Structure formats: C-alpha cells, structure tokens
Amino acid sequence: MLTNITSGGFIGIDGFKVEVEVNISQGLPQFIIVGLPDTAVKESKERVKSAIINSGFSFPLRKITVNLAPADIQKQGTLYDLPVAIGILNLAGIFSPNSIENTAFIGELALDGSIRKIKGVLPIAYGLKQIGVKKLILPEENAPEASLISELEVYGFQHLKEIIGFLTGDINKKPVKPDIEGTFTDYSGYPDFSEIKGQYAVKRALEIAAAGFHNLLMIGSPGSGKSMMAKAFPSILPPMSFEEAIETTKIHSVAGILDGYIVKNRPYRNPHHTISDVALIGGGSIPKPGEVSLAHNGVLFLDEFPEFKRSSLEVLRQPMEDREVVISRASGRYKFPAKFQLLAAANPCPCGYKNDPIRECRCTPAEIRRYRNKLSGPIVDRIDMITWVNSVPPEELSKMSAGESSQQIRERVLKAVDIQKKRFKELPVNFNSEMSPSMIEKFVILEDEAENTLRLAAKKYGITARGFHRILKVSRTIADLEASKNVKTKHIVEALNYRLTEEMLS
C-alpha cells in the first residue's frame, strides 16, 4: 500500500514542494526514512510512532518505508513529522483519501501527539501556493504567519487527534484569516531625538540618511552620543510597506527568530565587534542568513567600526553593492536578500580624543595612521556619508533646550520618501541610494553652477567614480527634503561635506 502526502521545505528563503511517499508492506516490523534526511528527520520515527499511539490510534507492525522526494535535496528539521504520521494513518483507513486532496501538511509532533511550532513557515507556504496547493495544515502557533499568503486556506491545530477529526468531518474549523490591520511600525520603543541635546549637524546627517536609505559613518570621541543617536535612528525611518514586511519576515522565519507572525518594525541589528565572518554575512554547512540579511529593509549598526576584524568588514563589500548575499556550496547555491542600511560609529584615533575640545589626544601619528588603515579604501568608498560628532561639554547640556522630536523629523523624511515613491513607481527601486547610473542620469538634474562645483571638487579631491555617483544620490535626497525639482549648488556642497573623509579626519 502506497500513499503520497504533500509537504514542503525551504532552501535559503525559497520554499519547495516535498512529496512524502509512505509505503506499508509485509515483512518484519521496520521503519525506514530515505531521501537525504538529516538527523532530526531520522529521529522522527520515534516521535511519529509515540504520537500515533498516544493519540489513540494503532501503529501498524509492518515494514514502513518513507521517501522524501525529491531525493537529491537534503531534508532538515522536524517539519516532516506530521506528514509522515498522516501518511501512515491514511493507509490505515482512518480517513478518506479525498479529504487530503490539494492539502499540504507540515509540523513537529510531540510524543503525546501535540503539534509544536516550526520555523520557515512563510517561505514554505508561499512555495506551496505557487504549485497549486489549496489548503495547508500546520501547528496552530504558525497559522497566523502562513495566513499572510493569500489564496491559501490555512488551518492551525494543537493535536494530531484534532487533525484527524477535521479530516473525517467530526470537527468543523474555519481557515485562519490574517490580522494585518493598522500600521506596521511602532516607534514607542526607541529613544526620541528630543532627548538628544545639541548635535544639530549629526541629526541633519541622520535625517538625510533616513530619507534616502544612505549608509552613514559617525566619527567622534567616546561619550559624544554616537550610540544613543544610532539607537534613536529607527524612530525617524519610514514605516515598512506590506511587501517589505513579508520579505523580512521570510528571512526571520527561516532563521528561527521571528517574534510574532510578521516583522512590523524595520530590523535594527547591532552585532558586537567580535562577530565572526560567517555570523555577519551568513553561511555554514547548511547556509543560514547572517546579520546583513537579518537587517534586510532595516539598519545594521556597527559600533566601534574599526575594531571589527578586517576580514569581517571586507565581506560587506559585495552585499553593500548588490543588496544580496550569494553563498555557494557543493549542495547548491543559496541567495539571501541583504538590502540593509549601514550605520557605523568610530573613534577618530586609538585613544578616541583626537580633535576633542576637552581631552588631549595621546596617540602618535603612526598609531593614528594604523588605526585608520583598519578601514580599507573600498569599504569607506561604499559609505555615502561621513559626519563628525563633537562632544558637548556637560556644563552646556543643562542650558540647551530640547531639540526637534523624532515625529517632526520623520514627517519631513516621509515627504521626501513620498517623492521617491512617485519617482520610482515604475522601477524596481524604492530609495535614491538604490539608483543605477542610468537612473542617476535621468533623475538627478543639476543646475549649471552645481555641476561645475561638483566637477571641480571631484578633480581637486580625487573622488572615484563610485564616490561621484554617491554624491549625486545624496544631493538628490537633500533636494527631495526641500521638495526641489533640480539639484542646486547648496545641495551639492552639503553632499560633498559628507564625502570628504580625509578632510574630516585630519
């Protein structure tokens, strides 16, 4: 006797169909699983057997062979427990085979028959919908996540007995409806910019970065407020669209860090500088997303930027340009989206007090040069904006009034973002920082004086072609914040000030 049960798996963040073929034949009692199963899949034999018995059903004392097709792709995790159990109970005649037509099953079984939460549900559900599956039965905790995929009826259950009752018609259950009303972003958990006194130039740089999704490096003495402003930065970012939320949720689901059923806030990842290359970029024997992918559509904040290993920083080059990570293994090629906004903070020298108005720097010129050389030219060249953070004397803090609130800044950012949405509505980009050279030529219209200023500066300071384009992108964002159709000289000058790194660091 043979039956096929539809299930699914994921490679990277892409779901695919898995046919769970269950065959029961005459012979000594034996339970075999084939089809490149990993250890977790092989151990499912004991979970399935105990779950069936403890749910009140008989377990057949015959030879049971399970094949997970396609057999040339490795199967991992515990999500195949449920389809294997359903296959065995189907062959036992517990329910009609017609009740599982166009239906897929995924889920982990406990020994008592209850169904436990699994990871990677959203990409699996999307992949199953693509091949024509109409219904998906899975753990109740995962049902809201899977219900985000339209045109797919999702049913969540807590126990194997409930699923059998549903398949036999003894239990009526309605498909789960997605609860996606309201805004996707809650700004209440971030520090407010009104709490940060002074630092008006840095706040301006952060506003420009938020409006155009530009990378930004802050350089300043210890205690000048770099980390606090970085923590407040998400409070001025535009809310995520539903499409962005789905993209990010897929990655977090695969990584097993999904909080709730959908990512509502733009990710803010803050790894320590001792992080490994693989943890930052992604990889492993079975590739998993790294911090750059977990920050997709959000912020990757690297504090103490020069203290990261040189190799860790160098692996950022490709995803900063291509907005994705490609990992090649003998088992296949894995793609992880990585459209993140790099926000970094650094000291100007090893002791941290070069150019500080209060403390004196103790570093020699050779030590400062070595410290700066930790950041390679190609990495610095990929950063759109660099700004200096001056420390505010404590006696002046009490005299300063509160600055603009995050909401006031965010309103200006949203207006600039709306301009970009209209500009790029027919194109596969959302922000100025993503423009290709052809888009720059089309959308960045310079006034004559502004063009002459940029060309003179490029020649004088030896700006690279990549740097030239980044200046144009930043100047376009500055113009958008003023709702200016053309890029003026003042916009170019301000963008240049965020680009001349050697001038700022000297």
Give DSSP secondary structure letters for 63-76.
EEEEEEESTTS-B-
What per-residue confidence (pLDDT) applies to 119?
93
Three-class SS of residue 171?
Answer: coil
284: alpha, beta or left? (left if phi > 0; alpha if psi -120 to 50): left
For residue 201, count other CB atoms closer than 10 A to its CB: 13
What per-residue confidence (pLDDT) applies to 241?
87
**Structure token digits, residue 46:** 């004991």
- In 338-347, which positions are buried (b, 16+ CB within 10 angstroms) versus exposed (e)? bbbbbbbbbb
Helices (H), 333-464: 365-372, 377-381, 394-397, 406-423, 437-443, 448-461
Domain 187-408 of CATH type 3.40.50.300 = yes
**Structure token digits, residue 121:** 């549900």
What per-residue confidence (pLDDT) applies to 182?
54
What per-residue confidence (pLDDT) applies to 283?
86
What per-residue confidence (pLDDT) applies to 159?
96
pLDDT along the chain (506 residues), means of 10: 93 91 91 91 94 94 94 90 96 91 95 95 94 94 92 94 94 86 73 88 95 95 90 94 91 91 92 94 87 96 93 91 86 87 94 85 90 87 91 71 87 96 92 94 93 91 88 96 94 90 46
What per-residue confidence (pLDDT) applies to 340?
95
Q: Do domains 187-408 and 435-506 have the same CATH topology?
A: no
Q: Which fold does the domain 435-506 belong to in CATH?
A: Helicase, Ruva Protein; domain 3 (1.10.8)
Report the sign of the C-alpha dihedral through residues 153, 158, 164, 170, in that order. Answer: negative
d(CA 473, CA 467): 10
CA-to-CA dists, residue 248 to 129, 136, 238, angstroms: 19, 22, 15
Q: Is 53 exposed, middle or buried (0-12, 13-18, 19+ CB in 10 A)?
A: middle
d(CA 275, CA 282): 11
Residue 257, amino acid: I
* Residue whose C-alpha is closest to residue 298's, from 377, 219, 239, 358: 239
What per-residue confidence (pLDDT) applies to 505?
46
d(CA 4, CA 126): 21
d(CA 389, CA 210): 17
Chain length of the chain: 506
d(CA 246, CA 254): 12
Q: What is the CATH number assigned to the segment(s) 2-168?
A: 3.30.230.10
**Residue written as tokens 């000289």?**
489
What per-residue confidence (pLDDT) applies to 52?
96
| Domain coordinates in residue numbering, the chain | 2-168, 187-408, 435-506
